[in-house]
């Protein structure tokens, strides 16, 4: 018997996200609204609410639900924020950010994913998300500064362009590591002209490929 996606979503949020410490009601509600099964290939739709990342083609992945909730909560998003995401992929993370009412600018470097996701987000009427095909490690200079920046691929360092395009005050969350598929989640906080970095724990993202990435 097919289980209603809304029920699967509520169970996913409760058991995988809330149970592990994400408590911001706005983030939990946003994740309950986004139909994650529409962001994966049809053959994988039955597994869309599982407790792991899933392939989305081109060697890339849609992030695990918990990590999406954890990173989103760390950003402390308000509806008036302008947000930059590097690594559009399936568009799922961008949709969660858009559900929080913010304006989302998202960059993907693989054309096939960019084309597919731009179409999907348009069909889903996420008109507050703009998608660009480019190397996101240099940011989106014409649109900066951004109140919040989220990078959903892992590189060897925090790209200087992204620090420069972060507003003051601003917050950025980014996986960083000298080994591939094994990074630390770094929270970059800019305030009063100063930039500090906090280590929020281990994670495993696909490669951030580009000028200021691998």
Q: Does 89 bind ligand SAH (CB under 6 A)?
A: yes
Contacting ligand SAH (CB under 6 A), which of 107, 121, 149, 166?
Answer: 107
- CB of 69 vs ligand SAH, minimal distance in Å: 12
Q: What is the spatial distance between Cα 159 and Cα 172, in angstroms, rounded to a whole number? A: 11
List phi, psi (to 5°) of 158: -80, 115
Find residue 186's DSSP bridge partners: 174, 199
List 24, 50, 135, 157, residue binding ligand SAH (CB under 6 A) = 135
Tell me, yes or no, if 161 is annotated catalytic: no
Residue written as tokens 């989106």?
140
**Residue closer to ligand SAH, measured from CB, 26 or 209:** 209
What's the closest the beta carbon of residue 194 comes to ligand SAH, in angstroms? 27
195 in Cβ contact with 48 (< 8 Å): no
Q: CA dist 143 to 63, 97, 137, 140, 164, Å?
A: 26, 17, 14, 6, 12
**Cβ 149 to ligand SAH shortest distance, Å:** 12
Asked if 64 is part of the footprint of ligand SAH (rule: CB under 6 A), the reply reads no
Tell me which of 53, 63, 90, 178 is the catalytic residue.
Answer: 63
Can you tell me the distance from the alpha carbon of 168 to that of 170, in angstroms, rounded to the nearest whole number?
5
Confirm or reject binding of residue 153 to ligand SAH (CB under 6 A).
yes
Tell me what percent of the chain is helix, strand and coil, each rounded to the nearest 5.
35, 30, 35
Taking CB atoms, the residue at the shortest distance from ligand SAH is 89
Q: How far apart are the first and last CA of the chain?
A: 45
Q: Measured from the CB atom, is 192 or 211 closer to ligand SAH?
A: 211
Of these, 48, 113, 121, 172, which contacts ligand SAH (CB under 6 A)? 113
Kind of pairing between the strands at 166-179 and 146-151? parallel
Asked if 62 touches ligand SAH (CB under 6 A), the answer is yes
Map the footprint of ligand SAH across residues 156-195, applying CB under 6 A.
none
- Closest by Cα among 214, 200, 211, 102 to 153: 214
Which 21-50 positions form the footprint of ligand SAH (CB under 6 A)? none
Q: Which residues are tagged catalytic?
A: 63
Q: What is the binding site for ligand SAH (CB under 6 A)?
A: 60-63, 86-87, 89-90, 92-93, 107-110, 113, 135-137, 152-153, 206, 208-210, 213
């Amino acid at each position: 018997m097919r289980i209603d996606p809304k029920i699967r979503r509520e169970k996913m949020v409760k058991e995988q996200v809330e149970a592990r410490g994400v408590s911001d009601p706005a983030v939990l509600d946003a994740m309950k609204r986004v139909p994650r099964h529409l962001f994966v290939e049809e053959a994988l739709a039955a597994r869309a609410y599982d407790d792991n990342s899933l392939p989305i083609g081109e060697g890339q992945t849609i992030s695990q639900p918990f990590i999406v909730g954890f990173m989103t909560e760390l950003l402390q998003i308000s509806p008036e924020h302008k947000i930059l995401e590097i690594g559009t992929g399936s568009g799922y993370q961008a949709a969660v950010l858009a559900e929080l009412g913010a304006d989302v600018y998202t960059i993907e470097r693989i054309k096939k994913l960019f084309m597919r996701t731009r179409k999907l987000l348009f069909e889903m009427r996420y008109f507050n998300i703009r998608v660009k095909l480019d190397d996101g490690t240099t940011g989106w200079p014409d649109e900066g500064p951004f109140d919040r920046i989220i990078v959903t691929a892992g590189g060897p360092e925090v790209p200087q362009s992204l620090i420069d395009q972060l507003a003051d005050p601003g917050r950025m969350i980014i996986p960083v590591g000298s080994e591939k598929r094994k990074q630390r989640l770094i929270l970059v906080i800019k305030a009063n002209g100063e930039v500090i970095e906090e280590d929020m724990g281990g994670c495993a993202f696909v490669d951030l490929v580009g000028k200021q990435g691998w």
